[in-house]
Structure 1
Amino acid sequence: MQQTKGFTIKAEERQSWGSITMVWIGAMICVPALMIGGMIGAGLSLGAAALAITVGYLLICLFMSFMGMHACDTGMPTAVMAGGALGELGAKYIISTILAISCVGWFGIQAAVCGSSFSTMVADMSGVTIPVWLSSVVWGAVMLLTACFRFSGLKWLNKIAVPLLGLVLAYTLIYNIASGNGTALIGYQPAAPMDLVSGISLTVGSFVVAAAISGDYCRFAKSRGDVVKSSILGVLPAGLIVLMLGGILAICTGSYDISVFLSTAGLPMIGLCALILATWTTNVSNAYSGGLALSVLLGQDEKQSQLTTAVAGAIGTVLAAVGILNSIQGFLSLLSAIVPALMGVMIADYWILGKGKVENFAIRKGFYLPGVIAFALGALVACVTGGTFATIPGLSFLNLPFFIGPINGILVALIVYVPLAKLGPKPAESLS
C-alpha cells in the first residue's frame, strides 16, 4: 500500500525511550492540566485527589501502551494504523478528518490563550498594550515553526521547557506555603464536594485524546518495552505532580488561573516565560498530529507532512487571530469526546483478533463496516455517558451520566467490534 509505506518510519529514525518520555512530560505540563488540577482540588480532599489522579492516569497509560506498542510494531502513525480497523477509506475520511479538525482547532485555542495571556501580562508589567490578535499570530507562528521540525524539534523544545517549568512551579508552591497561604491546606475540606469517579473522569478526559494519537510519537520507540516505559514515566509522575500542584495552588490562591499562581509569587517575567512554554510544548503536539492527519486525508505521505503541519498550524493561528474559536469550542469538545472510541476498535483489531502480531495486521480496503459501526456506537456512548451533550442546546436530553464517558466509549467499541469483525471480511480481502 503506497500510503502506508510513505508513513512507515525507518530503523535509523528510532529514538531513545528517554526522548519520547520528555515529549510526554512536556505535554503534561500545560495550563489546562493546572486548571483541571484546580477543579479536582476544589472538589476532593488532597488524599482523594491524589487517588483520583493516579487511577485516571493509570487508565490512560494502559491504553497508551497498547496504542503505542501497535505503532512501534508497524512504524505507522495513528491515522494510518486506523485503516486496519476502519478500512483505508474509513481511516482517511472519518478518523483523519476528526483528528485534523480537532488538532487544528485546539492549536488555535491554545494560541489564543497564549496570545491573550501574553498581552495581559505585558500590559501589567510595562503598561504597553499589544493587541491580542497580534500576540496570537506571533506566538502561533513561533509554535508552528517548532512543529515543522517534526519530532526532533519537539524533543529539543521539551528538554529546555520541562526543567524551567518544573523549577518555576516548584518555586511558586514553596513561596505560597512560606508566605502563609499554605495554611488553607490545613484540614482542608472542599466547599462543593465531587465524588471520586468524577475526579477520575476529569483526569482521564484531560489526556485521553493524546492517548489516542500516542502512536504518532511511540512509533519512534525502539521496542515495546520502551513504549511502556516512556508512557508510564512520561505521564503518571508528571501528571500527578502537575495536577496536584494545580489543586494545591488553587486552594492557596483561591484561583485556577496560572497567571494568578505566578503573580502571587512575584515572578511576572519568569512567570510569563513559563506560561508561554507551557502552552508551546502542548501546542506543538497539536500542530504535528494535525499535520499528520491532514497528510493522510489529502493522500500524501510523510515527506509532505511538514507542509501539511504548516497548513494546519496556519489555519489554527488565523482562527485564533479572528476570534471565532469561542463559538466552535463546543464543537471541538464534541470531537474530542468522539476520538477515544477509536482506541477500542484498534485495540480489539490488533491485540484481540490479531493476537498482537504485526504479521496479522493489514490495512483493509474501503470502509470496513464492523469497525465503522463499532466506532460510531462507542463514540455515541462516550458522549451520552460523559456529559458531552449536557451543554449543547436541543441535545441535553441525551445526557445520561454513567461512570467515565471516554472509558465507556472505548469498552463499548472494543466489545462490539470483536463479534462484528468475526463476521466481516477476512484478511484475504485486505490491502497488503
Structure 2
Amino acid sequence: MKKSTGFEIREEERQSWGSIAMVWIGSVICVPALMVGGMLGNGLSMGGLVLAILTGYALVCVFMCFMGMLGCDTGLPTAVMASSALGEKGAKYIISAVLAISCIGWFGIQAAVCGESFSSMLADMTGVMIPVWLSSIVWGVIMLLTACFRFAGLKWLNKIAVPLLGIVLAYTLIDTLAGGGMQVLSGYEPASPMSFVSAVSATVGSFVVAAAISGDYCRFAKSRADVVKSSIVGVVPAGLGILLIGAVLAICAGTYDISVVLSSSGLPLVGLIALILATWTTNVSNAYSGGLSLSVLLGQDEKKSQITTAIAGIVGTVLAAAGILNSIQGFLSLLSAIVPALIGTMIADYWILGKGKMEGFRMREGFYAPGIVSFLAGALVACVTGGTFASIPVLSFLNIPFFIGPVNGIVTAILVYIVPAGIRSRKN
C-alpha cells in the first residue's frame, strides 16, 4: 500500500482485544437475535439447538477472523480495504454504497422499533402517551451522538451497557424458568421441526454481515492474535446465550420479547431498560459503519467521518420518524444478503493470492473486473440458495434453497475470483 487513504489509524489508537470483544458482545445482543433464537427453539431440541448455534457462530468467527486480521494488518475499514479486490471505484461506488444504505436503513429500523416500544411501555407504566415519531427521534439522536465519538464511544457504551444487559438477561432467564419453565422444557417437543442445516443457516445469517464489516473495528486491534481472541470471546458466548434465551422465552413464555416477559412479571421498567440497551449497543455500530462507508462514497477521509456518521444517523432517524422503513425492509434485507459475498472476494485476494502478506495488498485504480464479477456471482448464489428471493414474488422462481446461503456465496466468490485474478497476476 503506497499511498495514504486518510483512514489509516495510528499505533497509539490501537485497543486491547477486550475492548473490541465488548463491542462485539453489544452488537450480538439485540432483539432480532432473540427472534432468531425463538424461531430455532420452535424447531429443534435443546441439544440440537446448542449444536446448531455453536456451528453457525463458529463459521461466522472464521470469516470474522480473516476479515478482521486484514483490517488489523492494513489499519483500514472494510469499504477502503475492498479497493484491493474490486478497485478503488468498485469499492467506492458498489461496496460503500451497499454498506452505507444497508447500515443507515437498519439504523432507522432499530430506532423506530425502540421508539415504538418506548412509547408503548411508557404509556402502560405511567399513562403518558408520547408520539412514536417523537420517541424515534429522541432515541435515534441519542444513539447517533454516541456513534459520533467513533470507536471510543462504542467502547465506553458497551463497557457500561453489556454488564447491565447481562444482569437483565440472566434475571429474565431465571424468572422464566422459576415460573414453571423447567417443567415446560423437560417435556418439550419441537412444534415445527427444522433441519440442522436450516438452523445453522439462520444463525450464520443473523451475524454474517458483521463479519463482512469486522475490519471497521478490528483495525484497532494490536495483533492478529487479538483479532482472533476478540472475535471468539465477543461472539460465541454472547451469541449462544442470547439465542438460547430467545429459544427458552419462546418455548416457556410464548414470546421472545424480554420487555413483555418482564412486564408480565411486574418489572416493566427493567424490560424497558433491556430493550433500550440492546437496541442502543447494536445501533451505534450501524451508525458508525454507515458513516465510514458514506465517507468513502463521498470521497471524504476519516477526519470527516464524524460528519458523515451524523448524516447517516440523521437520515436513518428521519426515515424512522416518517414511518416508511417497513416498506423498504425487503430491499434492505436483499442488500444484507449480498454483503457476505464481499468476504469471499477479499479472502481470495489477500489470503489466497496475496498469501496473507502486506506486499500483496495494493489499492487498485478504477474498477477491477475479477473482483466485481466475483462479488456479483457470490451475491447471486447467496440470494438464490439462501431464500432471499422467496419473499419477492417476481423473483420467487429463483428461490432454490441449498445448504447455507451466505457460505455458498462466499465460496462462490472465492472460486470465481482466484482463476481470472490469478492469471492476471502471473501475466504481470
Contact 1:115 1:132 in 2 (8 A): yes
Contact 1:90 1:366 in 2 (8 A): yes
Q: Secondary structure at the match of 2:189?
A: coil
Q: CA deviation at 1:424?
A: 3.1
Q: CA deviation at 1:187?
A: 2.2
Q: For 1:365-380, list aligned pairs within 5 A.
A: 365-380=365-380
Moved more, 247-256 or 318-327: 247-256
> Counterpart of 1:63 in structure 2: which amino acid?
F
> Counterpart of 1:400 in structure 2: which amino acid?
I
* Aligned position for 1:242: 242
* Aligned position for 2:342: 342
* Aligned position for 2:98: 98
Q: Distance in 1 between matches of 2:108 and 2:70?
A: 30
> Counterpart of 2:290 in structure 1: which amino acid?
G
User: Any idea what the Cα deviations from partners look like across 1:374-417, whole Å, max 9, x if unmatched?
Assistant: 11000000000000000112110000000000000000000110
Q: Distance in 2 between matches of 1:76 and 1:426?
A: 27
Contact 2:78 2:216 in 1 (8 A): yes
Correspondence 1:231 to 2:231: yes
Contact 2:110 2:283 in 1 (8 A): yes
In the superposition, the TM-score normalised over structure 1's length comes to 0.97
Gaps in structure 1 of 5+ consecutive residues: none
> Counterpart of 2:178 in structure 1: which amino acid?
A
> Counterpart of 1:140 in structure 2: which amino acid?
G
Q: For 1:23-38, list aligned pairs within 5 A.
A: 23-38=23-38
Moved more, 261-270 or 151-160: 261-270
User: Any idea what the Cα deviations from partners look like across 1:134-168, whole Å, max 9, x if unmatched?
Assistant: 00000000000000000001000001111111111
Correspondence 1:161 to 2:150: no
Distance 1:29 1:401, change over 3 A: same
> Counterpart of 1:190 in structure 2: which amino acid?
P
Distance 1:427 1:337, change over 3 A: farther
Moved more, 377-386 or 259-268: 259-268
Q: CA deviation at 1:298?
A: 0.6
Contact 2:25 2:235 in 1 (8 A): yes
* Aligned position for 2:323: 323
Q: CA deviation at 1:334?
A: 0.2
Contact 1:287 1:309 in 2 (8 A): yes
User: Any idea what the Cα deviations from partners look like across 1:11-61, whole Å, max 9, x if unmatched?
Assistant: 000000000000001111111111111111111111100000000000000
CA RMSD of aligned residues (A): 1.3
Distance 1:360 1:153, change over 3 A: same
Distance 1:215 1:377, change over 3 A: same
Contact 1:176 1:264 in 2 (8 A): no
Q: CA deviation at 1:349?
A: 0.3
Q: Secondary structure at the match of 1:395?
A: helix
* Aligned position for 1:219: 219
Q: For 1:24-103, list aligned pairs within 5 A.
A: 24-103=24-103
Q: Distance in 2 between matches of 1:109 and 1:399?
A: 26
User: Any idea what the Cα deviations from partners look like across 1:193-240, whole Å, max 9, x if unmatched?
Assistant: 111111101100000001100000000000000000000000001100
Contact 1:53 1:203 in 2 (8 A): yes
Distance 1:421 1:237, change over 3 A: same
* Aligned position for 2:409: 409
Q: Distance in 1 between matches of 2:303 and 2:27?
A: 25
Distance 1:245 1:214, change over 3 A: same
Q: CA deviation at 1:2?
A: 9.3
Moved more, 141-150 or 190-199: 190-199
Q: Secondary structure at the match of 2:174?
A: helix
Q: CA deviation at 1:265?
A: 3.2
The percent identity for this pair of structures is 74
User: Any idea what the Cα deviations from partners look like across 1:245-293, whole Å, max 9, x if unmatched?
Assistant: 1101111101122322222332211210111010000000000000000
Q: Distance in 2 between matches of 1:63 and 1:55?
A: 13
Contact 2:259 2:274 in 1 (8 A): no
Q: Distance in 1 between matches of 2:261 and 2:4?
A: 46
* Aligned position for 2:359: 359
Q: For 1:260-275, list aligned pairs within 5 A.
A: 260-275=260-275
Q: For 1:251-266, list aligned pairs within 5 A.
A: 251-266=251-266
Q: Distance in 2 between matches of 1:3 and 1:289?
A: 23
Correspondence 1:282 to 2:257: no
* Aligned position for 1:180: 180
Q: Secondary structure at the match of 2:400?
A: coil
Contact 1:39 1:256 in 2 (8 A): no
> What count of residue pairs does the alignment treat as equivalent?
428
Q: Distance in 2 between matches of 1:285 and 1:306?
A: 13
Contact 1:4 1:76 in 2 (8 A): no
Q: Distance in 1 between matches of 2:342 and 2:177?
A: 43
Contact 2:337 2:388 in 1 (8 A): yes
* Aligned position for 2:114: 114
Q: Distance in 2 between matches of 1:177 and 1:99?
A: 40
Contact 1:362 1:427 in 2 (8 A): no
Q: CA deviation at 1:3?
A: 7.8
